[in-house]
Amino acid sequence: MLALRITGGLGQVMEQDQNADISWTAEGVPVSARFDDPYFSLGNGLAETRHVFLAGNDLPARFRPGFHIAELGFGTGLNLLAALIAWRAAGIAGRLRFTSFEAFPMGAAQIDRALAAFPEAHAVAGPLLSAWAQGARTIRTDDLEAEIVIGDARATLPRWAGRADAWFLDGFAPAKNPELWAPELLTEVAAHTAPGGTAATYSAAGAVRRALAEAGFAVDRRPGFGRKRHMTAARRPA
Ligand SMILES: C[S@@+](CC[C@H](N)C(=O)[O-])C[C@H]1O[C@@H](n2cnc3c(N)ncnc32)[C@H](O)[C@@H]1O
Protein backbone atom coordinates (compact mmCIF):
# COMPACT_ATOMS: atom_id res chain seq x y z
CA MET A 1 0.00 0.00 0.00
CA LEU A 2 1.24 3.41 -0.95
CA ALA A 3 0.79 6.54 1.11
CA LEU A 4 2.08 9.94 0.11
CA ARG A 5 2.35 12.90 2.42
CA ILE A 6 1.80 16.11 0.54
CA THR A 7 3.98 18.89 1.90
CA GLY A 8 3.97 21.40 -0.93
CA GLY A 9 1.56 23.24 -3.21
CA LEU A 10 1.10 24.05 -6.86
CA GLY A 11 3.18 27.20 -6.47
CA GLN A 12 6.21 25.04 -5.72
CA VAL A 13 5.66 22.93 -8.84
CA MET A 14 5.78 26.04 -11.00
CA GLU A 15 8.87 27.22 -9.18
CA GLN A 16 10.62 23.88 -9.85
CA ASP A 17 10.23 24.23 -13.56
CA GLN A 18 11.81 27.66 -13.43
CA ASN A 19 14.59 26.48 -11.16
CA ALA A 20 16.33 23.75 -13.13
CA ASP A 21 17.59 25.22 -16.37
CA ILE A 22 18.09 22.15 -18.54
CA SER A 23 19.04 21.23 -22.08
CA TRP A 24 19.08 17.66 -23.42
CA THR A 25 21.72 15.71 -25.32
CA ALA A 26 20.67 13.65 -28.35
CA GLU A 27 20.88 10.57 -26.08
CA GLY A 28 18.37 12.09 -23.66
CA VAL A 29 20.82 13.08 -20.89
CA PRO A 30 19.82 16.28 -19.05
CA VAL A 31 22.53 18.93 -18.91
CA SER A 32 22.39 21.82 -16.46
CA ALA A 33 22.74 25.17 -18.20
CA ARG A 34 23.51 26.82 -14.86
CA PHE A 35 26.46 24.49 -14.17
CA ASP A 36 27.26 23.42 -17.75
CA ASP A 37 27.45 19.77 -16.66
CA PRO A 38 25.37 16.60 -17.22
CA TYR A 39 23.27 15.19 -14.38
CA PHE A 40 24.77 11.73 -14.80
CA SER A 41 27.26 9.79 -16.88
CA LEU A 42 26.79 10.17 -20.63
CA GLY A 43 27.57 6.43 -20.83
CA ASN A 44 25.38 4.60 -18.32
CA GLY A 45 24.11 6.63 -15.39
CA LEU A 46 22.52 3.72 -13.54
CA ALA A 47 25.65 1.55 -13.76
CA GLU A 48 27.72 4.52 -12.60
CA THR A 49 25.43 5.08 -9.61
CA ARG A 50 25.77 1.42 -8.62
CA HIS A 51 29.53 1.51 -8.90
CA VAL A 52 30.18 4.86 -7.25
CA PHE A 53 27.46 5.37 -4.68
CA LEU A 54 26.31 1.85 -3.79
CA ALA A 55 29.56 -0.13 -4.00
CA GLY A 56 31.48 2.98 -2.88
CA ASN A 57 29.50 2.89 0.39
CA ASP A 58 29.80 -0.93 0.62
CA LEU A 59 26.12 -1.34 -0.20
CA PRO A 60 24.02 -3.43 -0.20
CA ALA A 61 26.22 -5.39 2.27
CA ARG A 62 25.83 -2.71 5.02
CA PHE A 63 22.06 -2.37 4.71
CA ARG A 64 20.21 -3.07 7.97
CA PRO A 65 16.77 -2.03 9.24
CA GLY A 66 16.56 1.76 9.60
CA PHE A 67 19.54 2.41 7.31
CA HIS A 68 19.76 6.09 6.38
CA ILE A 69 21.32 7.43 3.18
CA ALA A 70 21.86 11.16 2.66
CA GLU A 71 22.79 12.88 -0.58
CA LEU A 72 24.10 16.22 -1.81
CA GLY A 73 22.28 16.91 -5.11
CA PHE A 74 18.96 15.12 -5.76
CA GLY A 75 18.77 15.94 -9.48
CA THR A 76 16.66 13.32 -11.27
CA GLY A 77 16.30 11.00 -8.28
CA LEU A 78 18.22 8.28 -10.12
CA ASN A 79 20.45 7.60 -7.11
CA LEU A 80 17.43 7.30 -4.84
CA LEU A 81 15.80 4.79 -7.18
CA ALA A 82 19.01 2.75 -7.58
CA ALA A 83 19.28 2.56 -3.78
CA LEU A 84 15.62 1.53 -3.50
CA ILE A 85 16.06 -1.25 -6.08
CA ALA A 86 19.08 -2.54 -4.11
CA TRP A 87 17.16 -2.29 -0.82
CA ARG A 88 14.30 -4.36 -2.22
CA ALA A 89 16.68 -6.97 -3.66
CA ALA A 90 18.43 -7.22 -0.26
CA GLY A 91 15.06 -8.01 1.37
CA ILE A 92 15.64 -5.82 4.45
CA ALA A 93 12.55 -5.32 6.62
CA GLY A 94 11.04 -1.85 6.88
CA ARG A 95 11.78 1.41 5.12
CA LEU A 96 14.97 2.68 3.54
CA ARG A 97 15.51 6.22 4.83
CA PHE A 98 16.81 8.70 2.26
CA THR A 99 17.39 12.44 2.66
CA SER A 100 18.64 14.53 -0.24
CA PHE A 101 19.63 18.22 -0.38
CA GLU A 102 18.76 20.08 -3.58
CA ALA A 103 18.93 23.78 -4.42
CA PHE A 104 17.53 23.80 -7.99
CA PRO A 105 14.83 21.12 -8.23
CA MET A 106 13.84 19.76 -11.63
CA GLY A 107 10.18 19.64 -12.61
CA ALA A 108 8.28 16.33 -12.54
CA ALA A 109 8.12 16.19 -16.35
CA GLN A 110 11.87 16.73 -16.58
CA ILE A 111 12.54 13.97 -14.05
CA ASP A 112 10.18 11.64 -15.92
CA ARG A 113 11.94 12.35 -19.20
CA ALA A 114 15.41 11.83 -17.70
CA LEU A 115 14.47 8.55 -16.02
CA ALA A 116 12.91 7.18 -19.23
CA ALA A 117 16.49 6.29 -20.30
CA PHE A 118 16.64 3.77 -17.41
CA PRO A 119 13.62 1.41 -17.65
CA GLU A 120 14.61 -0.43 -14.46
CA ALA A 121 14.62 2.80 -12.44
CA HIS A 122 11.63 4.28 -14.24
CA ALA A 123 9.61 1.17 -13.36
CA VAL A 124 9.87 1.99 -9.64
CA ALA A 125 9.61 5.78 -9.99
CA GLY A 126 5.80 6.04 -9.75
CA PRO A 127 5.57 7.26 -6.12
CA LEU A 128 8.38 9.78 -6.67
CA LEU A 129 6.86 11.15 -9.86
CA SER A 130 3.33 11.48 -8.52
CA ALA A 131 4.50 13.04 -5.25
CA TRP A 132 6.78 15.45 -7.13
CA ALA A 133 4.04 16.49 -9.54
CA GLN A 134 1.90 17.45 -6.54
CA GLY A 135 4.68 19.51 -5.00
CA ALA A 136 5.40 16.97 -2.24
CA ARG A 137 8.95 16.68 -0.97
CA THR A 138 8.33 13.74 1.35
CA ILE A 139 7.64 10.27 -0.03
CA ARG A 140 6.52 7.48 2.26
CA THR A 141 5.71 3.98 1.01
CA ASP A 142 5.95 0.51 2.55
CA ASP A 143 9.70 0.38 1.96
CA LEU A 144 10.80 4.00 1.57
CA GLU A 145 10.84 7.15 3.68
CA ALA A 146 12.41 9.91 1.61
CA GLU A 147 12.72 13.64 2.11
CA ILE A 148 14.17 16.13 -0.35
CA VAL A 149 15.28 19.28 1.47
CA ILE A 150 15.00 22.22 -0.91
CA GLY A 151 17.55 25.01 -0.64
CA ASP A 152 21.27 25.62 -0.77
CA ALA A 153 22.89 22.73 1.11
CA ARG A 154 25.34 25.19 2.69
CA ALA A 155 22.37 26.65 4.55
CA THR A 156 20.12 23.59 4.96
CA LEU A 157 22.58 20.86 5.98
CA PRO A 158 23.88 22.66 9.12
CA ARG A 159 20.25 22.89 10.30
CA TRP A 160 19.50 19.21 9.63
CA ALA A 161 19.02 17.12 12.77
CA GLY A 162 19.80 13.74 11.13
CA ARG A 163 22.93 11.59 10.86
CA ALA A 164 23.36 9.35 7.84
CA ASP A 165 24.92 5.90 7.63
CA ALA A 166 26.05 6.60 4.06
CA TRP A 167 26.46 9.76 1.99
CA PHE A 168 26.19 10.13 -1.78
CA LEU A 169 28.28 13.23 -2.64
CA ASP A 170 26.89 14.02 -6.07
CA GLY A 171 27.34 17.69 -6.88
CA PHE A 172 28.31 18.65 -10.39
CA ALA A 173 32.04 18.56 -11.14
CA PRO A 174 33.99 20.39 -8.40
CA ALA A 175 35.40 22.87 -10.93
CA LYS A 176 31.86 23.84 -12.01
CA ASN A 177 30.00 23.52 -8.71
CA PRO A 178 32.65 24.34 -6.07
CA GLU A 179 30.09 25.39 -3.46
CA LEU A 180 28.90 21.76 -3.08
CA TRP A 181 32.48 20.59 -2.37
CA ALA A 182 33.57 23.38 -0.03
CA PRO A 183 35.58 22.18 2.99
CA GLU A 184 33.02 23.80 5.33
CA LEU A 185 30.21 21.78 3.74
CA LEU A 186 32.19 18.52 3.86
CA THR A 187 32.81 19.24 7.55
CA GLU A 188 29.03 19.42 7.94
CA VAL A 189 28.73 16.11 6.06
CA ALA A 190 31.12 14.52 8.59
CA ALA A 191 29.19 16.03 11.49
CA HIS A 192 26.02 14.47 10.04
CA THR A 193 27.50 11.00 9.60
CA ALA A 194 26.93 8.21 12.12
CA PRO A 195 30.02 6.64 13.73
CA GLY A 196 31.42 4.12 11.25
CA GLY A 197 29.36 5.74 8.49
CA THR A 198 30.67 6.32 4.99
CA ALA A 199 30.66 8.73 2.06
CA ALA A 200 31.38 8.15 -1.62
CA THR A 201 31.83 10.31 -4.68
CA TYR A 202 32.82 9.89 -8.30
CA SER A 203 35.36 12.69 -7.80
CA ALA A 204 38.97 11.90 -7.00
CA ALA A 205 40.00 15.56 -6.92
CA GLY A 206 42.80 16.16 -4.45
CA ALA A 207 40.96 19.08 -2.84
CA VAL A 208 37.88 16.89 -2.20
CA ARG A 209 39.97 14.10 -0.70
CA ARG A 210 41.89 16.51 1.52
CA ALA A 211 38.70 18.23 2.71
CA LEU A 212 37.14 14.86 3.60
CA ALA A 213 40.30 13.83 5.48
CA GLU A 214 40.38 17.14 7.36
CA ALA A 215 36.73 16.64 8.26
CA GLY A 216 37.67 13.38 10.00
CA PHE A 217 37.11 10.70 7.36
CA ALA A 218 39.62 7.97 6.50
CA VAL A 219 39.83 8.47 2.74
CA ASP A 220 40.40 5.77 0.17
CA ARG A 221 40.95 6.02 -3.59
CA ARG A 222 39.15 3.28 -5.53
CA PRO A 223 38.85 2.45 -9.25
CA GLY A 224 36.42 4.84 -10.93
CA PHE A 225 33.56 4.08 -13.30
CA GLY A 226 34.08 3.85 -17.04
CA ARG A 227 36.76 6.20 -18.25
CA LYS A 228 37.30 7.75 -14.82
CA ARG A 229 40.44 6.23 -13.32
CA HIS A 230 39.60 6.87 -9.68
CA MET A 231 36.78 7.71 -7.28
CA THR A 232 36.71 8.41 -3.55
CA ALA A 233 35.35 6.33 -0.68
CA ALA A 234 35.53 7.64 2.90
CA ARG A 235 34.73 6.25 6.34
CA ARG A 236 34.29 7.89 9.74
CA PRO A 237 35.84 6.11 12.72
CA ALA A 238 33.37 3.86 14.54
C1 LIG B 1 25.09 15.81 -10.66
S2 LIG B 1 23.56 16.49 -10.19
C3 LIG B 1 22.89 15.25 -9.09
C4 LIG B 1 22.36 14.03 -9.78
C5 LIG B 1 21.45 13.22 -8.93
N6 LIG B 1 22.05 12.69 -7.75
C7 LIG B 1 20.68 12.18 -9.69
O8 LIG B 1 20.55 11.04 -9.18
O9 LIG B 1 20.14 12.52 -10.75
C10 LIG B 1 24.01 17.74 -9.02
C11 LIG B 1 22.84 18.37 -8.29
O12 LIG B 1 23.34 19.26 -7.28
C13 LIG B 1 22.45 20.37 -7.19
N14 LIG B 1 23.14 21.48 -6.53
C15 LIG B 1 24.11 22.28 -7.05
N16 LIG B 1 24.52 23.19 -6.12
C17 LIG B 1 23.79 22.95 -5.00
C18 LIG B 1 23.76 23.54 -3.69
N19 LIG B 1 24.56 24.58 -3.37
N20 LIG B 1 22.91 23.03 -2.77
C21 LIG B 1 22.11 21.97 -3.09
N22 LIG B 1 22.08 21.39 -4.31
C23 LIG B 1 22.92 21.85 -5.26
C24 LIG B 1 22.10 20.62 -8.64
O25 LIG B 1 20.93 21.39 -8.77
C26 LIG B 1 21.94 19.19 -9.18
O27 LIG B 1 20.62 18.74 -9.09
Q: What is the pLDDT of residues 109-158, one digit of tens each?
A: 999 999 999 999 999 999 999 999 999 999 999 999 999 999 999 999 99
Q: What's the CA gap between 95 and 93, in Å, rounded?
A: 7
Least confident of 34-43, 117-126, 181-190: 34-43
Pocket of ligand 1 (CB under 6 A): 39-40, 73-79, 101-104, 152-154, 170-172, 177, 179-180
Q: Is the pLDDT of residue 165 over 90?
A: yes
Atom of ligand 1 minimally distant from the CA of 168: 6
Q: Identify which has the larger pLDDT, 1 or 162.
A: 162
- pTM score, two decimals? 0.93
Q: How far apart are the CA of 1 and the centre of ligand 1, in A?
A: 30
Residue 38's H or E segment, with its range, is strand 37-38
Q: Is the pLDDT of residue 17 over 50?
A: no
- Cα distances from 191 to residues 52, 88, 152, 212, 214, in angstroms, run 22, 29, 17, 11, 12
Nearest C-alpha neighbor of 169 from the set 60, 57, 31: 57
**Residue 45: helix, strand or coil by DSSP?**
helix
Atom of ligand 1 minimally distant from the CA of 34: 25
Tell me which fold the domain 3-235 belongs to. Answer: Rossmann fold (3.40.50)
Q: How far apart are the CA of 73 and the centre of ligand 1, in A?
A: 3
Q: How far apart are the CA of 178 and the centre of ligand 1, in A?
A: 12
Least confident of 1-5, 197-201, 224-228, 229-233: 1-5
Q: Are 56 and 203 in contact (CB under 8 A)?
A: no
Atom of ligand 1 minimally distant from the CA of 114: 9
